[in-house]
Amino acid sequence: MKISTLFSSLLLSFVCIPIYIQAQNNDSIKTQNLSEVEVSALAKPSVSKSTTPLQVMTSDVIEQQGLQSVSDVVRRFNGVVLKDYGGIGGLKTVAVRGMGAEHTAISYDGIMVNNVQSGQVDIGRFALDNISMISLSIGQDDNIFQTAKSFASVGVLNLQTMPPNLTNKNYEGNILLKTGSFGQFNPILNYAHKVNKKSIISLNTSWQRADGQYPFEMMNGKTLFKSKRSNSDIDIYRIETNLYNNLGKAGNLDIKLYYFDSERGLPGAVDFQNNYRVERLWDKNFFAQVAYKKSINNLFEFKSQAKYDYNYTRYRDIYDAYEGGKRIDKYKQQEIYWSNAALYKLNKKLSFSLAEDLFYNKLNDETTKFGGNRAKPERYNSLTALAAQYKISFLTINSSLLGTYITEKIKNVDKNTTYKKLSPSISISLVPIPSYNQLRIRLSYKDIFRIPTFTEAFYTRSLSTIKPESAKQFNGGITWLSSLPLDKPSYINISIDGYYNRVKDKIVIQPSTFYAYTTNLGKAKISGVDIKLSAGMDITDKINIDISGSYSYMKALDVTDSKEDSYKNQLIYTPKHSGAASLVFKNPWVNFSYSLLMTGERYFWHQNIAAYRMKGYSEHSISLNRQIPLSSKYNFMLQAGITNIWDKQYEVMKDYPMPGRSFNVSANFKF
């Protein structure tokens, strides 16, 4: 199918969708117009008015709760399964509502972070110190003015960095030093400088190291096994620089350069008979991205984004130290990405967007040569998204149609593989009682299509061919936001969502340190409920309490074959019950926060029998921090925390013990 034919089909299909609603007041998210060199950014999106489940945590909340990493934030979101291989440097991937980490897109300042080799992005590589907001949208986000790639996932984890604010000064920055248990040492520098009246340059750089040698206890049959994690060290360098250009009527041009370099030990699963661990992994990632945005008039906006991404991975395992047996694998993957999007506002209520993404991916395997000529796959991708939004005070309707066209080439193989798919979505948020706009009902549907990653297609330990995976998402929920009947300012926010996902040819990965086992389950049905509550009140003008709690129930079943032992069994590593709670007490002296994470039992194999059951666990943490103003220009903050205060031993992944009680201390000087 030619691109022109695909586009025509998309346009025709979309035009046939009828949109006719009564008019009311506009309730759209507005951008903040900043003068000269200030950076314009989207305001915090409304969680209660969203047509699909949306969870947001800003830098203020992250700081108040004393969270130390992006994964700490994500673990507090509803409907998330975080796979954590233990330790400060352990790989961490995010799966939403039982759909697998490959279905979760990671957006960094509006452009997707991709890993075509594995399909899974390690969120442990992103620093938390320069993040202004982290959000997770499940289904299709209400913002229709996005890249086409953002329409192609079950959920999007959006990481928004902190833009400089140099309204009344020429520079700003901070020096942050973090240290803690298991040899952690993490100095960080942030600096922004006004180049001229139209440009700002910023620098964020950090170094993180840790030996990761934490003690653990595990049962070996009836015997308690005590040891210490070994070969779990990490050494990470990261540098990011941004150039923000406000070109006035010509628009805004932002340029980002990013470099990440890490070396880590892979401790592997615990082996009671052999503690020999020497596997090492080196990762280098460089990307450059450019984003241009212009408002042509009050009705039309345009943006263009481009990115070049280079990833280098080196894996080494000395499996026979006496005879010199050694395995070294090297992978190089590259991506060239270009996205163009246009937004047209027909009036204050109705708007349309069109986005076209083109990207090219290539992977070179320089060592292993799995399958001979299959070692150098290439993909040419085209994604086209056409979307519409109708928004008034009591009603929001979003609809979109995504066209996917992908061609895959293998070196020295004449026949190419082609994937084609049209994927619609629709979502609605409605105030059912016109006189009571605090209560809203939302409904959504989204069709998702995912092709196998390069690892799944060419570097898997599975003997069968991996088929593309398709899924249908259904969600229905209510949100309620209101003030409490108190003398002081207060609020309460409650959301309840029920969902049902139907998956065909579900791709399941059995985790391993480096090489994964991959298979198609066939069919899976995933249903569940997410409940979230947050409330806050001012006791005095300077004393405030915020509380929040969430609970998730997820039933994710393999329904492929009634004759198999795994039929209607829970999918591996998917707990039925999970939840989180937090309390933040803000005051003029020392701010205090307490948080609790809970995960129920789950299974590490496809059969739900006692031999494969993993116990549930809970983790309690506390944090203290105090702001010390030094002058009108300088500020100093001290923070200390204890994670897993009861020193409970648990595993997220089978035979990968997590750290027990740990401490962290940080000092932050802002200027």
- How many CB atoms lie under 10 A from the CB of residue 589? 8
Q: Nearest CA to 595 among 72, 97, 69?
A: 72
The pLDDT of residue 372 is 44
CA torsion 460→461→463→465, rounded to 10°? -10
**Structure-block tokens of residue 333:** 């993957």
The pLDDT of residue 560 is 86
Q: Nearest CA to 54 among 388, 437, 495, 447?
A: 495
Residue in the block written with tokens 């599975």: 462
Q: Residue 293 and residue 586: Cα distance in Å, rounded? A: 39
Span between the terminal Cα atoms of the chain, in Å: 57
342, 302 Cβ separation under 8 angstroms: yes
Q: Nearest CA to 43 among 25, 53, 58?
A: 58
Q: What DSSP element (H or E) covers 602?
A: strand 602-603
The pLDDT of residue 459 is 66
CA torsion 366→372→373→379, rounded to 10°? -60
Structural domains present in the chain: 3-29+43-670 (2.40.170.20)
According to DSSP H, which parts of 58-151 are helical?
59-64, 70-74
507-510 and 490-504: which strand pairing? unpaired
Phi, psi of 162 (to 5 degrees): -80, 115
Three-class SS of 226-294 = EEECCCCCEEEEEEEEEEEEECHHHCEEEEEEEEEEEEEECCCCCCCCCCCCCCEEEEEEEEEEEEEEE
Q: How much is the CA Rg of the chain, to the nearest whole Å?
A: 25
Q: Could you say which residues of the chain have pLDDT below 50?
A: 1-41, 369-374
670, 636 Cβ separation under 8 angstroms: yes
Q: Nearest CA to 402 among 52, 53, 7?
A: 7
256, 281 Cβ separation under 8 angstroms: no
Residue 665 to residues 100, 332, 669, Cα–Cα distance (Å)? 34, 37, 14
The pLDDT of residue 19 is 34
Residue in the block written with tokens 């938390």: 128
Q: Residue 176 and residue 172: Cα distance in Å, rounded? A: 14
The pLDDT of residue 509 is 64
**Structure-block tokens of residue 87:** 């330790």
Strands annotated E in 483-590: 490-504, 507-510, 517-520, 523-538, 544-558, 577-586
**Structure-block tokens of residue 382:** 């085209």
Residue 381 to residues 77, 204, 405, Cα–Cα distance (Å)? 31, 32, 6
366, 3 Cβ separation under 8 angstroms: no
The pLDDT of residue 89 is 60
Q: Residue 638 and residue 646: Cα distance in Å, rounded? A: 24
Q: Nearest CA to 91 among 473, 514, 523, 481?
A: 514
Q: Which residues contact 499 (CB under 8 A, 6 or more apart)?
A: 79, 97, 138, 473, 474, 475, 476, 526, 527, 528, 529, 530
155-161 and 131-138: which strand pairing? antiparallel
Q: Which residues contact 465 (CB under 8 A, 6 or more apart)?
A: none
Q: Residue 500 and residue 505: Cα distance in Å, rounded? A: 17
Q: Residue 113 and residue 300: Cα distance in Å, rounded? A: 28
Length of the chain: 671
Q: What DSSP element (H or E) covers 10?
A: helix 3-15
Q: Residue 462 and residue 137: Cα distance in Å, rounded? A: 32
Q: What DSSP element (H or E) covers 456?
A: helix 454-458
